[in-house]
Amino acid sequence: MGIPYSYSFRNLWTRRLTTVLTASGMGLVVFVFAATLMLTEGLEQTLVQTGSPDNVVLLRKAANSEVQSGVERAQASLLESQPEIAVGPDGYPLLAKEVVVLINLKKRVGDKPSNVIIRGVTETSLRLRPAVRLKEGRMPRAGSAEVIAGKSIARRFKGGGMGETLRFGMRDWRVVGVFDAGATGFSSEIWGDADQLMQAFRRQAYSSIIFRLRDPAAFEAYKTRVEGDPRLTIEAKRETQYYLDQSEAMAKFLRILGMVLTVVFSIGAVIGATITMYAAVANRVTEIGTLRALGFQRTSILSAFIMEALLLGLCGGLLGVGAASFMQLITISTMNWASFSELAFSFTLNFAIVWKSLLFSAVMGLIGGALPAVRASRMNIVEALRAT
């Protein structure tokens, strides 16, 4: 058995002020690290949850998003009659031909303009997205200049609230309902009647076709057949994969940004931990000599100081994760680079992020404590005892 853990823990407790200051420095780095992961996770979850694994999105080949895509009416009719499409209780196929347009709206705060997605939908669109629920008001009437707004749009954009009027496509559109799509990208959209919106924006083609598979396992076969059909210039993706692809560029950017910030900050934190641990060793030279004289091996001394550095790092980790957990209360909005539209999402903390953050903090502690621990373990017993 080696030196008890209580020795390492109580030494940290004895030097409370130094411990708190060093752990706070490390905590700040862990906060940045965790917040970046939470941001990426929030973005991915928002976009991925937007999709359903049973749904298929059909886009024009090589189009990265619905905004860039166009599906001709003739092709849409052909696609509508495929046998893989599930049928609803009313006997109609569970398929929606949608149009997606970007418009510019001013925010309520700051008057700053931002891109917003207008989605032309059909009655089936709601059935294909069970997460979308009308929170207030009613659905737009077919053939009328009415829209419903996602809760994020209603809250943050001028004219987006219940009963307000938006002007786009050379017409005024009354907001007759507000819908809640949970933590999905639909909460940052405005929905209206697809035919009315196509007329308003003079669109001849749909942006995308969404349908539910009768048998989810049949997707690969369907994809191969449809993409190989010479009459169609269509690419089929599962809806979850489509939104995951959308989040990829932004998530990658956030990860790289977070990594750079974390690495730069962590150098400072590791130096702080090293200085603290060197001071701890310098203050306990006689103790080290005594422990060695009693028969503890160099490795036991090394382990005790490494343990102390790990605990210091974990204290920082807990502080950082604790502070980062409050970020879940914040909802931020940013540009979705795939659709060039505004997307609102929250910082999301999960077990994997907590685990990674604590591991990261422990690694910082380990790196910071390694050299001081080696120094402690290499002390000459007689010289250490003379330091009394």
User: CA torsion sign, 237 to 241 to 242 to 248?
Assistant: negative
Distance of CA 14 to the CA centre of its chain: 40
How many residues at the interface with other proteins, by CB under 8 A?
26
The residue within the footprint of other proteins, chosen from 5, 14, 172, 199 (CB under 8 A), is: 14
- From the CB of 372, what's the least distance to other proteins, in Å? 17
CA distances from 98 to 107, 124, 293, 325 (A): 26, 10, 80, 38
- From the CB of 358, what's the least distance to other proteins, in Å? 25
Binding status of residue 1 toward other proteins by CB under 8 A = yes
The residue within the footprint of other proteins, chosen from 7, 201, 278, 337 (CB under 8 A), is: 7
Q: Which residue reads 């932004």 in tokens?
A: 250
Q: Kindly tell me which of 144 and 286 has the beta carbon lying closer to other proteins.
A: 286
Binding status of residue 77 toward other proteins by CB under 8 A = no
Q: Kindly tell me which of 104 and 286 has the beta carbon lying closer to other proteins.
A: 286
Stretch that binds other proteins, among 2-10, 171-179, 184-192, 236-244 (CB under 8 A): 2-10
Binding status of residue 382 toward other proteins by CB under 8 A = yes
Q: Kindly tell me which of 204 and 388 has the beta carbon lying closer to other proteins.
A: 388
Q: Kindly tell me which of 19 and 125 has the beta carbon lying closer to other proteins.
A: 19
- From the CB of 10, what's the least distance to other proteins, in Å? 4
Binding status of residue 6 toward other proteins by CB under 8 A = yes
| CA distance linking residue 40 with residue 59, whole number of Å | 26
Distance of CA 29 to the CA centre of its chain: 19
**How many helices (H) and strands (E) in the chain?**
12, 12
Among 279, 359, 290, CA closest to 321: 359
Asked if residues 95 and 124 have their Cβ atoms less than 8 Å apart, the reply is yes
Give the HSE-up count for residue 115: Cα atoms under 13 Å, Cβ half-sphere.
15
Stretch that binds other proteins, among 38-46, 94-102, 242-250, 380-388 (CB under 8 A): 380-388
Asked if residues 241 and 223 have their Cβ atoms less than 8 Å apart, the reply is no
Contacts with other proteins in 269-298 (CB under 8 A)?
Answer: 286-287, 289-298
Stretch that binds other proteins, among 7-15, 97-105, 108-116, 183-191 (CB under 8 A): 7-15
User: CA torsion sign, 185 to 190 to 196 to 202?
Assistant: negative
Which residues contact other proteins by CB under 8 A? Answer: 1-4, 6-7, 10-11, 13-14, 286-287, 289-298, 381-382, 385, 388
